[in-house]
A and B are shown apart, each in its own frame.
Chain A
Amino acid sequence: MSGAATLPRNTTRQAEGALHGDIARLLHRFTGTVIVLFVLVHVIAQAVLHVPAFGMTKAAAPWLPVLQSQHWMHAALYFSIVFHTLYGLKLLASELGMRIEYRSALWVIVAISALVGLREVLRYAGI
């Protein structure tokens, strides 16, 4: 044997790194909020754009139609919809008895959602 005899300490590093559960929970809330906000803004924007009674508002807000077709907004929305749906389904499935590893499930769902969001960005870029 060479070197100092050291005990194999069974130390943890729990105070470091990400808490997967917190990331998932906060993302789920955030994406839910994005979806609700988008629906609200979308309904109001469509009313302003298409209801003649809101003509004055439409004239005063020429940026509104442009805002509706921003690629980053669509990317964020699609990411939110996919993440919220898949994570919600994951919660349901796990509570109905399916064994799902929480770390890998989170990153797989984030990856799928990011791909869908990215697809929107690429679609706007004509790729």
Chain B
Amino acid sequence: MTTPATITVTAEIRRFDPSQDGEPRYQRFEVEGLANMSVLDVVRSIYENQAGDLAYQFACRIGRCGTCAMRVNGRPVLACQERCKEEMRIEPLTPFPVLRDLVVDRTEIESRLAALELAPKRDAQHPGKPEPIGADLAAKLCNMDSCLLCMVCVSACPAVDERPFDGPAFMLKLRHMAEHPADRGDRLGQALDHGMLECFNCDVCTQMCPADLSPAQAIRDFRKELVFGGVSKR
């Protein structure tokens, strides 16, 4: 039997408790463990053995819930999926307000999602039985619906930093509805209202998405629809 490779990780974690601290500070920790530890393993080890007051959050640990998103060396990642490095600077997800340490306030995210009304807006009552849908479209909708809403793409997006743009995740959600055969809402109009034209089309969101989705393609589809018009759903 071979001994698994081990690693000593030096993690610098941004600590900030608004009720006590005037300014954020960075605290260094050393963690020894298997070389294939995830960033979340490191954070959990620090919480369990060195800093019991460290605030962070996670749920599924398999990259399906999007709860553990944080910035590692300046890049937004899912902590449960990202392989640890010898030197890591771990920070909360930007540009969201920090509640404490690595926990961000998602109130605004949730309120924006609620405001977008991301359920099919029907112009007639539901028939009360399953509605037929093409296999390809169903697969596409399922794929788009696998967005974790982890906000990694929003944190990585340079346009969110510079311009009045809600972010790629919201555009993907709107596109999901725009593609839905039962939806009659003006999703293109909503996308425009939420800054769709501010996107640089740089595909950083596509590269960073932990669910392998392409919010940038959703935005491009909206832009194409803006120029050529959408496909009739009737």
Interface residues of A (CB under 8 A from B): 3-4, 6, 9-16, 19-22, 24-25, 91, 94-97, 102
Of the listed residues B38, B72, B77, B220, the one surrounded by the most CB atoms of chain A closer than 10 A to its CB is B220
Q: Is the interface of B mostly helix, strand, loop or mixed?
A: mixed
B183 within 8 Å of A by Cβ? no
B201 near A16 with CB under 8 A, answer no
In the complex the two chains form, what is the Cα distance from A6 to B82 in whole Å?
17
In the complex the two chains form, what is the Cα distance from A20 to B1 in whole Å?
41
Once A6-B4, A12-B83, A15-B73 are accepted as A-B contacts, the answer to whether A96 and B224 lie under 8 Å apart by CB is yes
Q: Name 17 A/B residue pairs within 8 A (Cβ), A-sorted.
A: A10-B62, A10-B63, A10-B81, A12-B81, A14-B76, A14-B77, A15-B74, A15-B75, A15-B82, A16-B85, A20-B203, A20-B207, A21-B158, A21-B206, A25-B204, A97-B224, A102-B206
A95 near B220 with CB under 8 A, answer yes
For window 1-18 of B, CB contacts with A under 8 Å fall at 1-2, 4
B104 within 8 Å of A by Cβ? no
B204 near A95 with CB under 8 A, answer no
A9 near B77 with CB under 8 A, answer no
B227 within 8 Å of A by Cβ? yes
